[in-house]
Amino acid sequence: MLALGKLLELTLAGREPAEKTQLTVEGVRMRWLSEGALEVRPPEARDNGLDLLLSAGIHGNETAPIELLDRLLHDIARGELKPRARILFLFGNPEAMRHGERFIEQDVNRLFNGRHELSSGFEALRACELERLAASFFNLPDRDRLHYDLHTAIRGSKIEQFALYPWKEGRQHSRHELARLRAAGMEAVLLQNKPSIVFSSYTYDKLDAESFTLELGKARPFGQNEGVNVSRLETLLKQIIEGSEPELAEESLEGLQLFSVAREIIKHSDSFHLNLPADIENFSELKKGYLLAEDIAQTRWIVEEEGARIIFPNPKVKNGLRAGILIVPTTGEDLV
């Protein structure tokens, strides 16, 4: 196997490869760009016009997605997986990966779309570098652009595998991409309706990629991910990489639950209190009239929506950040 196929090993060791560019027997070029960043380019005659960005480890303790990208890279380096797409593999926060922590100083996935410019520290610099790497990768004209940012959650979920689909004014969500997510094993998709500061929102909004945050299960340490089943996603990614995807039945999204954002719960002060059990699962239903949260100046969030559910509840975030999202079922009438 080519040494560059061991990107994860290099990243965890904090080492640069001796050779920055290597070729497989089939002429696939692997090029080390920066710590945790590797570009894969197929021979020109095999290139099918897709640029695929695969990122994981934006949160360093979310290891199942990191291990998935590691397996794909190994297969490419061995010549067992023969790409027809250009691919950029990114491990988002190497320092947090080495420590087995979600982040060291601040959450990298809250530092995109301009937020890193308002901050300081190495994780803000890393967010800036990730934006630069993605922008450079997606700078070729007349090509399809796809980005999957892979995560696992800090808590359990009543719907274990789901995706977040970013929003941009004047741009509609794609039925084809939703069918693709269903094929990848996603049980639900949250169709967002406002700008965001996460990585997938940056590539969707600024770089015109079809971009998604994928939540794949519960976060566990390296080597303990037997309970995180990514087999369907792994199969789909191999098909996308090799250009061998089966035809998708776009008319039918049967079994895929769609949700939209009703409100974001923003923590304004240290007085913030979230009236939920610490171990509440994502997608837990909340009754209408329930007092969800309280903050300074008698700020209160009361559930007003029918069928409301909560995802990503986290009262420990910094002031000014999102402490949870209230979502409701939707039909996805505006899909194209």
As annotated, the active-site residues are: 215
Please provide residue 330's backbone torsions phi and psi, each rounded to the nearest 5 degrees: -140, 165
Name the token pair of 156.
Answer: 């359990």
Cα–Cα distances (Å) from 196 to 191, 203, 227, in that order, read 12, 11, 30
Whole-angstrom distance, CA of residue 36 vs CA of residue 305: 43
Give which of 62, 84, 66, 86 is closest to 74, Cα–Cα: 66
What is the bridge-based pairing of β-strands 257-266 and 188-191? parallel
Q: What DSSP assignment string belongs to 126-187?
A: HHHHHHHHHHHHTTSSS-EEEEEEEEEESS-BSS-SEEEE---TT-PPPHHHHHHHHHTT--
Torsional sign, CA 184, 335, 196, 317? negative
Q: What number of other Cβ atoms are within 10 A of residue 144's Cβ?
A: 12
Whole-angstrom distance, CA of residue 49 vs CA of residue 29: 16
Q: Are 99 and 189 in contact (CB under 8 A)?
A: no
Name the token pair of 192.
Answer: 């967002």
**Residue 151, annotated as binding a ligand:** yes
**Residue 95, annotated as binding a ligand:** no
Give which of 128, 130, 147, 37 is closest to 85, Cα–Cα: 147
Give which of 63, 2, 22 is closest to 218, Cα–Cα: 63
Query: Side chain identity at 267, as an amino acid letter?
Result: K
Over the Cα atoms of the chain, what is R_g?
20
Which residues define the annotated binding site for Zn(2+)?
59, 62, 151
Binding residues: 59, 62, 151
